[in-house]
Structure formats: C-alpha cells, structure tokens
Amino acid sequence: MLQLKSIFLFLSIVLLSTSNEVTISWRNNYKLSWEHFKGQPQKNTDAVAVTASGITFSYSLKHRNSEVIDFTANVEAHFYPEKSWYIKERANQYILAHEQLHFDITELHVRKLRHQISQVKINNFLKKTLDRLHQNSNEELAKMQKRYDTESHNSINTEAQTKWQKFVAKELEKYEAYKSAD
C-alpha cells in the first residue's frame, strides 16, 4: 500500500518572510488548490505535500508624553505558495483537504490571537504584552499543527482526519467574531 504523507511547514514570518513574497490570505470561502503549491518538491521524502503557512502580525502604538494611549494591531493567516509544494503523481483531493486544514488551523490561531488582543488593557508595557501574545500564539500553532499530523498520521488515519476536520470547524465557529475578512 502506498503510504501517503504530508508535512506542515510552520514559518516564522519575522525570520523567513520578505516584503516582496507572494502570499495568499485566508478567506472563509476560498480554498487552496494544487495550483497554489508552486515550490519545488523535496527529494528523498515520503511526503506528498508541504503547506507553508503562518501568522503575520504587526501593531503600532500611539503615545502621548511617553505614555501609551492607544494601539492598533493587524493579524493575518497567510499561505506561502513558493514554499509550499506537492508531488503531482501522488497527490489527490483527500491530501489537498489535509493541507487545507493546516491553513485553517493557522486561521484558528489568528482568531484566537485577535480575541486575546481584544482583551488587552492599554498600559506602558503594551509592546511586551503584544510580543508575548504573538510568540505564545506561534508556539501553540506549531504544537497543534504537529499534533494534527501525528494524530492523523499525516492524513493516513482517516478516522482521525475526520475528527480533526470537525474539531477545527467547531473552533473556527467558536471564534467567528474574529475571522479574517472575506
């Protein structure tokens, strides 16, 4: 039996992204297709596909007399076509759905981070607070992505794959108020 395997590649945007890099923003009614996976497949791997996605985060603080008086924050889930790849001969719609769920998990953590940011009180330690929230969000995202691949055995365990699809859909609905714009 052909073993199908996919790998999620979590990217730290601050370290690996360039301002000219092409990205796809997560949108509720927009799904990935194999045409979006433009990277070169790795050789000598069991992986059928790699999804590169991550959280893009920025903020600005407004000061008055060295006191922080307000802030704005922007949090987005992005997919990186040039860093994502697949092996055409082994790919199918089932594996694409597995890869889409990796992107959906990224959006889930974007929503959770937006929710946390909405709870932040303005103070002079705001920069540190926002940076910590972002860091924690990235760590939780990486853990969930790894757990997803482990439990679903990289999509091979169809029962676990279905369980994850239902779980992520429920969680996305729970944080619906913080979803990315369509």
- Could you tell me the pLDDT band of residue 13, with boundaries at 50, 70 and 90? very low
pTM score: 0.90
- Could you tell me the pLDDT band of residue 19, with boundaries at 50, 70 and 90? low
| Average pLDDT of span 121-146 | 97
| Average pLDDT of span 61-71 | 95
How many angstroms from the chain centroid is the CA of residue 168?
Answer: 12
pLDDT of 140 above 90: yes
What is the model's pLDDT at position 15?
37
